[in-house]
Amino acid sequence: MNKIIITIALVIVSFTSFAQDFQGMAVYESKTSTAEFKSRMEGNKDITPEMQKMFEERMKSMFEKTFVLNFDKNASIYKEEEKLDAPGTQGGGNMRMMTSSFLGGGGTQYKNIKEKIFTIDKEMMGKEFLIQDTLPKLDWKMSQETKEIGGYMCFKATAKQKASQSDFRNFRMKKQEENKGKKEATEKPKSTGLMASDGEIPKEIEVVAWYTPEIPVSNGPENYFGLPGLILEVSAGKTTLLCSKIVMNVKDKKEIKAPTNGKVVTQKEYDEIVTKKMEELKEMNQSQGRNGNGGMQMRMGR
């Protein structure tokens, strides 16, 4: 514990040396585990090896992203880095835009750690929303465990977080009951989509963060903040965000201000809107299945 106290004291001293116009930039690589989806596909005899390969490539493009965090002492802008579609991937851009809002990307995320507020602009199925709310405060448990990330000494902190019901990165399959018969166990899976009827988003997830007091900014990717140093890595549920590049005192400073376009809603209201839309799509898919036209609820495009 003494090691943590000393590093926090160094952070307080370092804060005073920061210029008023200080600004930094950090790049984060995001990866979300897709093991459950791959396992589900392997159990579906209707999916050919070619279809599975295409599906895995699309899953990789959706679940592996790059984000840029531009920050000063009090606020930050966090945004997904735009990528060009590979040759021959028709509709890839539209698919990415459609799913990005559900998979931790899309829009600009403004965070003010001094005022404890955030603003995110999201586009969902042609409609623009502006989510404005207070930052969720996590009860961080500090640890003396350390590791090095990109040349920076980092300390470990853990917390429990309420899972957003509009973030489908945390989607998981429900466990099958042990007493189910063999016939039921060998039935063709109902779907391979992100909104399978036998899946759910947990109410709570575990968060493991690694922060460095060497960069005395109480900020990090997404809505993570509140630690005595910049968060360079965070694992939340099935997703890991790892910092791959840091630039301090950048010359090309970005304007750090909140986005303004879209219908203003709270995070709870936005989650309810997304949940309702997902239920509508799920019912539509189930109806198609009863009519013999079943398929993935969230198509991967052509």
Nearest to 67 by CA among 120, 138, 115, 117: 120
Give the residue with greater pLDDT, 104 vs 60.
Answer: 60
Residue 218: is its pLDDT beyond 80?
Answer: yes
Positive/negative CA dihedral, 231, 232, 236, 239: positive
Q: Give the per-residue pLDDT at 29.
A: 96
Residue 281: is its pLDDT beyond 70?
Answer: yes
Least confident of 106-110, 201-205, 215-219, 297-301: 297-301
Enumerate the domain spans of the chain: 2-290
- pTM of the predicted structure, to 2 decimals: 0.76
pLDDT, one tens digit per residue, over 146-179 is 999 999 999 999 999 988 877 878 777 666 543 4
Nearest to 80 by CA among 94, 97, 95, 92: 97
285 burial type by CB count under 10 A (0-12 exposed, 13-18 middle, 19+ buried): buried
Residue 277: is its pLDDT beyond 90?
Answer: no
Q: Give the per-residue pLDDT at 40.
A: 62
- The mean predicted confidence, pLDDT, of the chain is 78
Amino acid at 175: K
Give the residue with greater pLDDT, 103 vs 272.
Answer: 272
> What mean pLDDT comes out for the span 275-293?
74
Nearest to 34 by CA among 97, 103, 122, 107: 103
